[in-house]
Structure formats: structure tokens, C-alpha cells
């Protein structure tokens, strides 16, 4: 099997920086996960360019759609889901509302709140982006057999469970 970027990285690393000692396999894994993440990000961005969305717009719309209550949320919930500040979310929603992709409605029972809802146009453009994104991911996954993909998920899950326990506990 030919070398990938991670192999080259580890090799170069070992040549130049022996005194900073890392486990080669751990380092390679980290680099590969980073590389795959960047690849997904890049294909998402191509999809977004095609449908005419900025990454910040898509991200907001996306989190709005994948909630327990799809298409509906409060600015604060979205902000914490996305890891942006409340101020940032106000700005993002201003843009999305101006483009007609979401609608703000003042809350009725609690008038401090604002309800955000994706409009028909917002849902449509999000779906188009999702379909394109999915195509790219499926394409990448063809590199693995179905059994390999299951094995990979099993191993990744061991890591994510470990990570989650570190974050919670």
C-alpha cells in the first residue's frame, strides 16, 4: 500500500524531531482523523458553493434542522449547540432572516423568547446541500467494504465513548 500524507508526516517528524517523542501510531491516527475532517469540510464547502450558502449559514440551518424539534428552536439553544456566542447567533439569524431562510417570531407565553423557524425556502436549500454532501461522503466510503466500514465504526466508537466519558465525568 502506498504512503499517505500521515505516513509522510510521521516519517518527517521522526527525522527532525526525535527529541519530542510521540507514539507513531497515535500520531498517524490523529493526523488521519484531521485529514478526513478537512476532506469532509472541503466537500461540504463545494456543495454549499453550488447551492449558494455560506458555511455559517449552512451550519446554522443544519443545526436548526437536526434538532429534536426539526426546523424550530430558540436563538440561545442554537448558539450553545453551535458553540457560538449569543451575539454571533443574533448576527447569523439576521442574515438568514434577510435571505428569507428562517423566520423570527416573538414568543407568546414568555415574551423574552424568540422562536426561530426554517421557512420552506430554508428547508429546500438545506436539503439540496445535504444531498450533495451525502454524495461526497458515500463516494469516500466506497474505499471500504461494508464489513470494513462496520469494523471502522466499531473502533471509532470505542474512541468516541472514551472521549465522551472524559468530557462528562
Residues that bind DNA (CB under 7 A): 54, 56, 74-77, 83-93, 95, 104, 109-114
User: Nearest approach, Cβ of 136 to DNA (angstroms)?
Assistant: 21
What are the helix (H) ranges across 17-145? 24-51, 55-65, 75-82, 86-98, 120-141
List the Cα angle 126/54/32 in 5-degree steps: 90
Binders of its own copies in range 2-31 (CB under 8 A)? 2, 4-7, 9, 12-13, 16-17, 20, 22-23, 25-30
- Collapsed DSSP state (helix, strand, coil) of residue 112: coil
Q: Distance from CA of residue 157 to its chain's centroid? A: 17
Quick check: 124 binds its own copies (CB under 8 A)?
A: no
Enumerate the β-bridge partners of residue 54.
Answer: none
Enumerate the β-bridge partners of residue 117.
Answer: 72, 103
Provide Rg for the chain, Cα atoms.
Answer: 20
> How many residues in the chain?
169
Q: With CB under 8 A as the contact rule, which of the stretches 53-61, 84-92, 101-109, 142-150 interacts with its own copies?
A: 142-150
Q: Which of 72, 30, 59, 70 is nearest to 133 (CA)?
A: 59
80 binds, options its own copies, DNA, none, Cβ within 5 to 8 A by partner type: none
Quick check: 121 binds its own copies (CB under 8 A)?
A: no
127 binds, options DNA, its own copies, none, Cβ within 5 to 8 A by partner type: its own copies
Task: Give the residue with the Cβ less far from DNA, 113 or 127.
Answer: 113
Which residues form the interface with its own copies (CB under 8 A)?
A: 1-2, 4-7, 9, 12-13, 16-17, 20, 22-23, 25-30, 32-37, 39-40, 42, 65-66, 68, 70, 127, 130-131, 134, 137-144, 146, 148-153, 155-164, 166-167
Amino acid at each position: 500500500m502506498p504512503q499517505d500524507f500521515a505516513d509522510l508526516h510521521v516519517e518527517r517528524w521522526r527525522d527532525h524531531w526525535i527529541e519530542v517523542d510521540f507514539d507513531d501510531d497515535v500520531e498517524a491516527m490523529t493526523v488521519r482523523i484531521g485529514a478526513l475532517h478537512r476532506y469532509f469540510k472541503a466537500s461540504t464547502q463545494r456543495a454549499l458553493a453550488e447551492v449558494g450558502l455560506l458555511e455559517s449559514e449552512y451550519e446554522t440551518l443544519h443545526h436548526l434542522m437536526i434538532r429534536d424539534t426539526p426546523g424550530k428552536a430558540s436563538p440561545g439553544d442554537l448558539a450553545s449547540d453551535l458553540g457560538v456566542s449569543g451575539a454571533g447567533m443574533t448576527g447569523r439569524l439576521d442574515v438568514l432572516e434577510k435571505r428569507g431562510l428562517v423566520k423570527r417570531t416573538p414568543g407568546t407565553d414568555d415574551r423574552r423568547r424568540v422562536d426561530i423557524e426554517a421557512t420552506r425556502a430554508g428547508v429546500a436549500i438545506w436539503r439540496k446541500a445535504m444531498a450533495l454532501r451525502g454524495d461526497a461522503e458515500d463516494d469516500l466510503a466506497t474505499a471500504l467494504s461494508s464489513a470494513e466500514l462496520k469494523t471502522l465504526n466499531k473502533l471509532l466508537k470505542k474512541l468516541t465513548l472514551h472521549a465522551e466519558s472524559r468530557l462528562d465525568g
